Amino acid sequence: MPSHADAHRRSLEDPEGFWGEAAAAIDWFTPPARVLDADAAPLYRWFTGGELNTCHNALDRHADGGRAEQPALIHDSPVTDTVTAFTYSELREQVSRLAGALRNLGVHHGDRVVIYMPMVPEAVMAMLACARLGAVHSVVFGGFAPHELALRIDDARPHVVLSASCGVEGSKVLPYKPLLDRAIELAEHEPTHTVILQRPQVEAQMIDGRDHDWASLIAGASEIPCVPVAATDPLYVLYTSGTTGKPKGVVRDNGGHAVALRWSMDAIYDTGPGDVFWAASDVGWVVGHSYIVYAPLFAGATTVLYEGKPVGTPDPGAFWRVIEQHRVKTLFTAPTAFRAIRKEDPDAAHLERYDISSLAALFLAGERLDPDTYHWAKHLLGERPVVDHWWQTETGWPIAASCLGLERLPEKAGSPTKPVPGYDVRVVDAEGEDQPPGTEGTIVMRLPLPPGTLPTLWNDDARFIRSYLGHLDGHYLTGDGGRFDEDGYLYVMGRIDDVINVAGHRLSTGEMEEIVATHPDVAECVVIGVPDELRGQMPFGLVVLQDGQIRNPEQLEAELVALVRQEIGAVACFRSAKVVARLPKTRSGKILRKTLREIAEGKDPQVPSTIEDPAVLDELAPLLRG
């Protein structure tokens, strides 16, 4: 393997040679005629003329190539107290039979199928069955509100919706079928069929003629082979979370997606055939698509599907138990998960009960990794790499990371290290000029983006160009702000709208959060800009304390103010930090900063349907508006 620097340089200087070689790791029915097609730039396409099948590359090639009896998928569900494993041979049989059932319902190449399911093996099977047929799947996070599901049904216009009778979240059972029925009532487009997986916790009431029982439908279906599709054909549409109005459907193609994810497993995650890879996420998010379902299976690895939480199912030792029981080599999760574990078990007493010697590396992404959480994880894991890496729903795989399969870069707290090969990342000012090291600006990426990233938005090229490519000619706008340091390390400080203007000074609330999080009594925190008559905006902090900590609020506030003043200076004007019981988050663990800002501004925000518990906003509103 080349060094990180050499691989990155070559990927930008010779993208066709670089990615053409990477494409050799994928099975093609018809080899691509062109690696990079710029004829319709800025709408670039990868591997035009090539034909493949994503499901074949995930299952058939391994089942026929010596891995038939190796576990492909392990479903670990502490909420139902079950563990179920499927070999590559068994998973292929289930998937090909489900594909046959969908074919019997009239699903063909190019048709859309919405998948609205909990974290069960059938959700993975559903995605792979669509890929086997050349159909386009659109996974909607299980438990999404009917209105949000209806918007996605109208945009994707599915022929079939696959769902389940319920989801299980901790001790709660959430019936899905009433939500699905209401969504179909609200939607203008009516799916021809729904297929319902009946779970023992809840029996769904079926509608004759439209609803089909999953088990009965599969029992009467035959296995079918993979359908060849064009590399540029869409594999899936994934709608960005919290969308209001017309949803923004991120498109992922078949060819670029397979090549990029297969390459990433070797180069970034250093995970190969027979290794156990665990992405502790949800199939409804992009992490679940890329690194629960597709990438590990492309690599011939074993993937873990976890139906549980980092704490409470049953305790803060849940992650350590899964690592020991399944001999996990690589764990990928969100910083929020480790903050939750640390909050309930700050001394990591539960870790002592488990043997995690199989674990080679921890990868964290999804939200800013504050240095304090990074150092805590490093303390627990010793010499193992703790890799902060950064990417987006739109890119589908990492933009910046220490690529462990190429070269382990020295880690720096607060940085996802350097751009991954394929990505030409720049930090620019308002005029599009490159910013010198140490100076914050807007993060953009020079076109073309590498394979596997979004080629466009679903049925809306114009919106894709307007939303992502209109900021700076020939560049993709990430929407994030940040800086490079003198060593070329990237620091991502948060969304552009997380930069506040205090008396003419542009300040990063992300930087303030990192500082506040270093206080030993703080478990997690958020800093937002609130309106101020004199200075325009002022930073305002909300902090959650470590379990067991009881502090004088005024004293703690003074300590936090002093910390920020010491690190940034009086110019930050950080003068207020309030202790709260909890912060508003999405189900994937992201703090709802924008919603908090809007409440502080006196607005009546559209509360994202992904919020874990809407009641927390009512608890915080008096503080924010006071």
Question: What is the distance between the alpha carbons of residues 495 and 442, in angstroms, rounded to a whole number?
Answer: 9
pLDDT the model gives residue 147? 82
Statement to judge: residues 80 and 136 lie in one domain = yes
Statement to judge: residues 468 and 583 lie in one domain = no
Binned at pLDDT 50, 70 and 90, residue 244 comes out as: very low
| Helix 88-104 vs helix 121-133: crossing angle, to nearest 10 | 60
Query: Is 384 a member of any domain?
Result: no
Statement to judge: residues 400 and 538 lie in one domain = no
**Domain boundaries, position 612:** 503-625
Instruction: Identify the CATH number of the domain in which residue 519 sits.
Output: 3.30.300.30
Statement to judge: residues 477 and 507 lie in one domain = no
Rounded mean pLDDT of 427-448?
A: 94
Statement to judge: residues 464 and 510 lie in one domain = no
Reading the block at residue 314, the tokens are 């049953």
Binned at pLDDT 50, 70 and 90, residue 190 comes out as: very high
- Which one of 244-248, 384-388, 467-471 scores highest in mean pLDDT? 384-388
Query: Is 526 a member of any domain?
Result: yes
pLDDT per position as a tens digit, 565-615: 887 777 678 888 999 999 998 877 788 888 898 898 888 888 877 788 888
Statement to judge: residues 200 and 247 lie in one domain = yes
pLDDT per position as a tens digit, 509-530: 877 888 898 899 999 999 988 8
pLDDT per position as a tens digit, 192-230: 999 999 999 999 999 999 999 999 999 999 999 999 999
pLDDT per position as a tens digit, 533-552: 666 788 999 999 988 787 88
Statement to judge: residues 467 and 524 lie in one domain = no
Statement to judge: residues 508 and 438 lie in one domain = no
Greater confidence, 55 or 586? 55
pLDDT the model gives residue 338? 93
Greater confidence, 569 or 449? 449
- Residues above pLDDT 90, as percent of the chain: 76
Query: Is 345 a member of any domain?
Result: no
Greater confidence, 600 or 360? 360
Statement to judge: residues 252 and 298 lie in one domain = yes
Reading the block at residue 170, the tokens are 């901790």
Statement to judge: residues 119 and 33 lie in one domain = yes
Statement to judge: residues 158 and 274 lie in one domain = yes
Total domain count for the chain? 2
Query: Is 589 a member of any domain?
Result: yes
End residue of a domain, out of 482, 514, 536: 482
Query: Is 118 a member of any domain?
Result: yes
Nearest-CA neighbor of 423 among 403, 437, 440, 409?
A: 403
pLDDT the model gives residue 537? 80
pLDDT at 51 exceeding the cut of 70: yes
- Residues above pLDDT 70, as percent of the chain: 97
Let me know: does 334 contact 371? Beta carbons within 8 Å: no
End residue of a domain, out of 453, 482, 511: 482
Return the exposure string of 429-465: e unless at least 16 CB atoms fall within 10 Å of the residue's CB, then b: eeeeeebeeeebbbbbbebbbbbbbbbbbbebeeebe
pTM, to two decimals? 0.86
Nearest-CA neighbor of 402 among 362, 368, 356, 440?
A: 362
Greater confidence, 267 or 240? 267
Query: Is 538 a member of any domain?
Result: yes
Statement to judge: residues 446 and 527 lie in one domain = no
